[in-house]
């Protein structure tokens, strides 16, 4: 006589199997949602092997150098910085347009999904970006634009696989040099650009690499000259102006506590922010504001905090607090002017596609300008000589550029000609300048 089916066989077991299948299906479905969310956050620039363009590196360096040499004023708006940073607005791809709303229910739902996946031991979907070097380059480029240079460099190197196209390889090496520069790994930066110049994928890339090397050599010459400045604050400001941020910070640490005024902390904040040291920058800007909350420097510090919170770090609380503080200082016009860059991009009038955006148009203008610049012949780097004053044992004084020096003689040139002075005849030698 067969046994009658029990509740376990008729209810519990089928329910468990059905629940398992539903759970697996749900996790698969939610993994797809999370993937779209990841692409929404990171896919702000779609790179293709046949259309990789790194010419914006040069114009970004030149624009930052120009901005650093200008005295900051409340009426100025960093338009080039904003245009370059927001050129390709982050937006959802495919059918995930609803994610762009980021409403509270959506955030809660996605957080719940993440918790369930972690509890189930499901691998995060970030690995999707590790399977395609072009997606990796996209991610690295966006990290770089937000000044996460160390993270960008690591991601670029992951994308540098043997089978990548020559154009993509050049793009990675050119940008790796850019990231090395901001990390103060100067020799590595030059070597990365030198590798492209030696074996480029195209003539344009060779010319761009040579222009970058020439720019770098001029930077090193300025850096050597700035190191001769005796005053610590002046030396730090000089280093900041030429984009030698690590050197600027080292000089600022030598300034005594009683000399650290509001401008000191603002400058230190900028020197921290530029290479992507955001937490240190936030602390310095807040110290600068605390020194005098009603000054123009405080307004400038609020601006930098707002740009970090709204564009670089994506920290809403930081951005809102900075906007409130800046508006209280009468700086509301600045926030109104920046709003188009921070908010959703506006479609071009008469655009045929939703992909046509004003910021992308502006970015292409910058790329075209950069393309014109890189076709120019690189400016020769003027060799740096020491200017010396030499007094000989017979009382003569010779001042001029030191062209060379050995254990036996010193060669000096001035308007009267070139002099080969034996070291035995030199009573004293004084360095006048580094030019």
- Percent helix, strand, coil in the chain, to 5, is 65, 10, 30
| pLDDT score recorded for residue 124 | 45
Q: Identify whether the C-beta of residue 298 lies closer than 8 Å to the C-beta of residue 262.
A: yes
| pLDDT score recorded for residue 120 | 57
Q: In this structure, what DSSP letter does residue 381 have?
A: P
| pLDDT score recorded for residue 348 | 37
Query: Which regions of the chain are under pLDDT 50?
Result: 1, 33-51, 89-102, 123-132, 344-360, 374-376, 378, 381
CATH fold, domain 386-433, is SH3 type barrels. (2.30.30)
Q: In this structure, what DSSP letter does residue 47 have?
A: -
User: C-alpha distances in angstroms, 334 versus 44, 195, 222, 327?
Assistant: 25, 43, 33, 9
| pLDDT score recorded for residue 85 | 73
CA distance 237 to 256: 16
SS3 431: strand
Q: Identify whether the C-beta of residue 189 lies closer than 8 Å to the C-beta of residue 178.
A: yes
Sheet holding 417-422, edge to edge: 417-422, 409-414, 397-405, 386-392, 426-433
| pLDDT score recorded for residue 380 | 54
CA distance 215 to 204: 16
- Start-end ranges of CATH 2.30.30.100 in the chain? 386-433
Residue 339: which H helix or E strand, with range? helix 332-342
Q: In this structure, what DSSP letter does residue 421 have?
A: E
Nearest to 278 by CA among 149, 177, 88, 175: 149
User: C-alpha distances in angstroms, 204 versus 162, 201, 208, 376?
Assistant: 22, 8, 6, 11
User: C-alpha distances in angstroms, 240 versus 182, 228, 335?
Assistant: 12, 15, 26
| Residue 415 in tokens | 């308007």
| pLDDT score recorded for residue 159 | 84
Give per-residue pLDDT as tens, 84-112: 777 654 433 333 333 344 456 656 665 66
| pLDDT score recorded for residue 153 | 92
Classify burial at 17, counting beta carbons within 10 Å of its beta carbon; exposed 0-12, middle 13-18, buried 19 or more.
exposed
Nearest to 158 by CA among 170, 146, 174, 172: 172
Domain spanning 227-344: CATH 1.25.40.10 = yes
Chain Cα centroid distance, residue 247: 17
Q: The whole model's pTM is what?
A: 0.65
Q: Which residues contact 54 (CB under 8 A, 6 or more apart)?
A: 170, 171, 174, 175, 205, 208
Nearest to 387 by CA among 410, 362, 407, 408: 410
- Start-end ranges of CATH 1.25.40.10 in the chain? 227-344
CA distance 400 to 287: 47
Give per-residue pLDDT as tens, 279-321: 999 999 999 999 999 999 999 999 999 999 988 887 889 999 9
């Amino acid at each position: 006589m067969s046994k009658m089916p029990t509740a376990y066989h008729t209810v519990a077991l089928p329910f468990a199997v059905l629940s398992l299948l539903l759970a697996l299906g749900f996790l698969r479905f939610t993994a797809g949602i999370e993937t779209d969310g990841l692409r929404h956050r990171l896919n702000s620039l779609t790179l293709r092997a046949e259309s990789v363009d790194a010419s914006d590196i040069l114009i970004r360096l030149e624009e930052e150098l120009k901005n650093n040499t200008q005295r900051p004023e409340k009426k100025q708006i960093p338009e080039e910085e904003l245009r370059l940073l927001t050129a390709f607005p982050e937006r959802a791809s495919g059918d995930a347009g609803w994610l762009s709303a980021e409403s509270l229910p959506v955030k809660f739902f996605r957080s719940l999904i993440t918790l369930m996946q972690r509890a189930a031991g499901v691998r995060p979907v970030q690995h999707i970006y590790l399977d395609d070097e072009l997606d990796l380059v996209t991610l690295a480029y966006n990290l770089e634009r937000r000044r996460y240079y160390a993270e960008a460099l690591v991601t670029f190197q992951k994308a540098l696989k043997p089978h990548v196209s020559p154009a993509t390889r050049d793009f990675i090496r050119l940008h790796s040099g850019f990231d090395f520069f901001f990390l103060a790994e100067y020799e590595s930066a030059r070597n990365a650009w030198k590798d492209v110049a030696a074996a480029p994928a195209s003539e344009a890339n060779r010319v761009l690499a040579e222009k970058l090397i020439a720019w770098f050599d001029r930077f090193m010459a300025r850096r050597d000259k700035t190191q001769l400045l005796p005053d610590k604050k002046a030396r730090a400001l000089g280093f900041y102006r030429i984009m030698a941020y690590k050197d600027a910070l080292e000089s600022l640490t030598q300034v005594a506590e009683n000399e650290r005024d509001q401008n000191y902390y603002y400058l230190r904040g900028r020197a921290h922010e530029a290479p992507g040291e955001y937490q240190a920058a936030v602390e310095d800007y807040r110290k600068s504001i605390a020194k005098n909350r009603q000054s123009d420097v405080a307004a400038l510090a609020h601006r930098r905090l707002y740009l970090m919170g709204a564009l670089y770090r994506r920290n809403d609380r930081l951005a809102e607090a900075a906007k409130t503080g800046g508006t209280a200082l009468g700086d509301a016009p600045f926030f109104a002017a920046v709003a188009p860059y921070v908010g959703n991009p506006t479609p071009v009038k008469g655009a045929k596609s939703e992909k046509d955006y004003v910021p992308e148009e502006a970015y292409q203008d910058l790329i075209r300008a950069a393309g014109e610049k890189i076709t120019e012949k690189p400016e020769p780097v003027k060799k740096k000589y020491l200017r010396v004053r030499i007094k000989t044992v017979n009382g003569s004084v010779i001042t001029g550029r030191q062209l060379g020096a050995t254990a036996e003689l010193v060669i000096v040139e001035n308007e009267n000609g070139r002099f080969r002075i034996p070291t035995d005849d030199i009573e004293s030698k004084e360095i006048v300048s580094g030019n």
